[in-house]
Amino acid sequence: MSLAQIPIAMPSWRDLLEILIVAAVLYKVLKFLAGTRALQILFGVLTLGAIYVAAFLLKLSMIAYLLGVIFTYGAFAALVVFQPELRYALARLGQTRPFAFFGGRAASVVAEQVSEAVERLSRNATGAIIAVERDVALEEYLDSGTRLQASLSADLVATIFSPYSPLHDGAIVVRGDQIIGAGCILPLTQHAPLSKTLGTRHRAALGLSEETDAIVFVVSEETSAVSVAQRAILEQGLTPERVRELLATPAPKA
């Protein structure tokens, strides 16, 4: 039989549509998991799956049986392990179109409240670091501080960073229009700071911006200057208008 005689099934438009939808969903899932511990866990699950297939083909019955038991109850374990990511994914779904009609004011609220907060903190020479989450989840950094679920407001941010507050030493994490963590410890950059006047807060902001796509605002306690770290780049001397502009601009792609 020649190649010309081999029957080839032509996909219909429904098949092509399904392929595109599945590809888009997989891309979104991988993009969502990128930079999180969930991606490492997913790779671990895939490794176990490869071991199971190898054990099945090599007829290693005991290993195949044990892995089969693990996979049987693995769905329930995944709900527990991925609980923060699942909750975050559902929240992000509610922020996308067509659901954005119901929550379209969130971005403007965040820009206004954050700009007002950093202006007030700068005026009072109060040190602060505010990490605004973008596409990469900051869930893993919440464990180093105190988890919150509070509406973002300039008054609350100023209260948290008050020198008498037990949470003023770390960073706050903002997701949407909610403060989800305070007193959080961020990773320090391993690169030399641009200036000797830059302290631990600036190094932490740069460190987080190197590992995620978060936009991190810093108020210097020594100089009262406002800076921002994004994509491993530090911009200094921000005005409230510039803060609002940054939060209204989509995150740059790597």
Spatial neighbors of 76 by CB under 8 A, at least 6 apart, are: none
At 123, is the pLDDT very low, low, confident or very high (cuts 50, 70, 90)?
very high
Q: Right CATH number for 105-248 from 3.40.1700.10, 3.40.50.10330, 2.40.30.10, 1.10.150.110? A: 3.40.1700.10
- Ranges of H-type helices in 106-172: 106-123, 139-142, 154-160
Sheet containing strand 215-219, edge to edge, reads 146-151, 178-184, 171-175, 128-132, 215-219, 226-230, 233-235
Per-residue model confidence (pLDDT) at position 85 = 61
162-186 tens-digit pLDDT:
988 888 889 999 998 899 999 999 9
Please count the CA atoms within 13 angstroms of the CA of 113 that sit on its side-chain side. 21
- How would you classify the pairing of strands 128-132 and 171-175? parallel
At 60, is the pLDDT very low, low, confident or very high (cuts 50, 70, 90)?
confident
Tokens of 196: 């000797």
62-116 tens-digit pLDDT:
888 888 887 777 767 767 766 666 665 665 555 554 444 444 446 788 899 999 9
Extents of the domains making up the chain: 12-81, 105-248
Average pLDDT along the chain: 81
**Closest C-alpha among 163, 156, 153, 152 to residue 124:** 163
CA distance 106 to 112: 10
140-159 tens-digit pLDDT:
899 899 999 899 999 999 99
CB-based contact 229:218 (threshold 8 Å)? yes
CA distance 229 to 213: 10
Between 224 and 30, the higher pLDDT residue: 224
108-122 tens-digit pLDDT:
888 999 999 999 999
